[in-house]
Every structure is written in C-alpha cells, then in structure tokens.
Amino acid sequence: MFLYKYINLLTDNLLGFTNLMGWNYGKPALILLIPAGLSFYIFKSITYLIETGRGNIINIKFVNAALYISYFPAIMAGPIDKPNNLINQFDRKVSFDYERVTDSLKIILWGFFSKVVIADRLSPVTSRIFSDLNSYNGIYMVIGVLLFTVQIYCDFSGYSYIAYGFSKFIGIDVINNFKRPYLSKSIAEFWKRWHISLSKWLQEYIFLPLSYSIARILMERKINIRIDYASYIIASLITMIVCGLWHGANITFAIWGLYFGILLVLSLLFKKTRRALKSKFHINNANPFISLSKIMFTFLLVSISWIFFKSDTLKEIGQIFSNIFSWSGIINNSNGSGIIKNILKTYGLSYKELYLSIVFIAVLLTVDILQERFNIFERIKKQNKLIRWSLYYALLISVIFFGAYNSQQGFIYQQF
C-alpha cells in the first residue's frame, strides 16, 4: 500500500528538501495503477493478524481466511467486518428463504437508486464546478459544495447498501456501514453513523491503543495536566490525520482528517461550557427546534469538510473558500424565475433535470427522516399489496428510466 499510494508523496517531499539544499534531481516517473480495493485488503489483513495475535481467531481454514480478506461484495469500498463476524458464516449452510431474498433485493434496489439516480445525476454538475473554479462563486459555489455533500453520501452509501443487500441475498450478514449520518447532532455522532466499520476500526486499533499509551507516558512522567484530556486530544488528532491519509497521499486529505480531529477536540474542551449554557438558559435537548439546529450546524460543518476532501491542492481549497465569500455580480435579477434561469444556465441544466434532482433528493431525505423513527422497509411490508408494490415499482422505474447511465461514473471510494 505504501508503494502504490504514498511513494510519490515521499518522493516529492524528498525532492523538495534536496532542492532547498541546492541539489537538483529530476523527478523519477513512477506511475502505478492502484489495485481496486487495496486499502480494504490491507485493513482486513491487519485486522486478521491482530485478532489472531490476541487469540480471538483459532483453527481457521486457509480458504476461509483468504475469503475473509477478499470477500468480493465488500472489497471495493467496505465494510471492514471483524474476522469472526464473517468467517463463522462461511461454512454455514443456507437454505432458500423467500423473505430474506426479497428483503435483500429491496436493499439492493435502494442502493442503486442512491447511486445511479442521485449520485451519478449530480456527478457531472459537481465535476463541472470543481474543475472550473474560476467560473463559480457565491451562491453557485455554495450549491456546488452542497451537491457534492449529497453526491458522496449517495455514492458511498449506495455501494454499501448494494454490498449489504447482496451479502444478505447469499446468506451472509455484514455490518451496515451507514446510519443516516447527515441527521447527526454532533461530529462525534456523525462518525458513529458514517463509514461505521472504518470508524470502529480506527477506534479499536489506533485511537484506544494510542490514548492508553499516551496516558501511561504522561502518568510515568507525572506531568501536571489533565491526563484524560491530553490523551484524548493527542490520540484524536493523530487518528483522524491517519484516517485522512488512508484516503490518499495528499496534504488535502491530511487537512480533512485534521479538521475533524480539531472539531472533536473542541467538542470535548467546550463540553462543560455547553452544559452550563443549557442549564442557564433552560435549553431542552428534546426540543425539536434545538434538535434541528444541531443537525443543521453539524451538516454545515461536514459540508465544509468535503471542500478539503474534494480539492487536490491547497490553492484549490483557498480558491473555493474565496469564491464562496465572493458574491459580487451573482444575481442581478431578484425575480424568482430569473434566479432559477441563472442557476440552470450556470450549471448547464434543463428544467427537467433540476426538478428531477430536487424530487429524488427530497425522496432520499424523506426516507432517512422516516427511517430514524421506524424501519421503513418493515413498515412498507405491512401495507396492502397495491401500496406496497406501487412503491417497489416506482423505485424500480426510477432506477431504470432516470438513472444517469451515460455518465460512466465509478464509485468514489473505489479509488481508496
């Protein structure tokens, strides 16, 4: 993984150092095609070795160990299951179960809806915006960031639903990698809902060992600070930077991880302040307005993070933020239809594409909100046959006729 993903970053930094010293060397050409799912192979291999070392895995057949590492539905973008969760299922006899098969097909269908109907429909728009930053500013740049926020969620969760559904279809239970992350009320909660298997992996194999080691070192040296705070802060920052660099050998990914690390640290440092304010102003967390405010604020913070994630250079990051706050000459027509025409012209969209995108995103949001309250798939199963099959066919027709199949879009996370 180091050779494929990080050798060029190391080479660039070494050449930068030698140039500062007055030694000029040409940059060696090393262009390697990264194998699909390389990071997930590596993470699963590391997990297997650690769990074996801990004594949690014994007497496992080689073929099952190999199948765990290369389990094909999850190899492109996860999830990263624990070995025992998968391996113990490989030798299990599975008989045909009509309910399991139909449930899995519904999940797969929802995954395709998220991917080809929403994510791939938005992809040409976001690609156009982020590849030509000089042409977009103000509200158009803000919309571009928000659209990418929706796109990456639908792209990644779409794959995860397909992998989850296909695994269920063949009788294998894998971890559900997403739990409506954009309805989180804090950054900490977001990471419990987004890429859940990676979050658990980072917590168990990096954050916890690191925080324990830091706490032990601080205790041995008898440093007069809050050891629990210090260990959490240092471990959080390092873990999230590692998380960023796992996505790619680029300073922008490191900043993306550091950004989340700083937000987690700030949340800890201001925990007492938040409690005091709640007590002073009698703020009730159960209040719908308070809950909505938390969700919107967290969504805003996460949306900002995707600017770092999407950018290739520090210059691009700076330009995007500069464009967002540049509103001069954006909208000359205050009439609503004039604004819509400007947006359509700017993004190269038709009215039909705009309305379809709005409708499908609204469907996604509605399903996520309802899913927070109850299992929507189970609720639909209890409806009468006409309503039930009308919904299924509506979803299928949307995938067949409104999917963006001409865009030739892969999955965003397959590159990692």
CA distance 124 to 336: 25
CA distance 387 to 132: 45
Please state the φ and ψ torsions of residue 334, each to the nearest 5 degrees.
-80, -10
One-letter amino acid for residue 384 of the chain:
N
For 91, 189, 200, the CA distances from 186, given in Å and listed in that order, are 41, 5, 17
Q: What angle (nearest 5°) sits at the alpha carbon of residue 319, between those of residues 238 and 298?
A: 50
Output the six-digit token pair for 261. Answer: 């690390």
User: Is 195 marked active-site?
Assistant: no
For 46, 120, 234, the CA distances from 43, given in Å and listed in that order, are 5, 28, 23
Strands (E), 361-414: none
Q: Are 225 and 152 in contact (CB under 8 A)?
A: no
CA distance 364 to 368: 6
In terms of Cα–Cα distance, which of 80, 325, 359 is closest to 198? 80
Q: Which of 174, 247, 320, 347 is catalytic?
A: 247
Cis status, amide bond into 79, omega within 30 of 0: yes
Rg from Cα positions in the chain:
24
Q: Are 313 and 252 in contact (CB under 8 A)?
A: yes
Composition of the chain by helix, strand, coil, percent to 5: 75, 0, 25
Q: Are 199 and 191 in contact (CB under 8 A)?
A: yes
Burial label for 298, CB within 10 Å (0-12, 13-18, 19+), is buried
CA distance 47 to 64: 14
CA distance 102 to 245: 39
Q: Are 190 and 302 in contact (CB under 8 A)?
A: yes
Q: Are 347 and 287 in contact (CB under 8 A)?
A: no
CA distance 9 to 14: 9
Q: Kindly list the catalytic residues.
A: 247
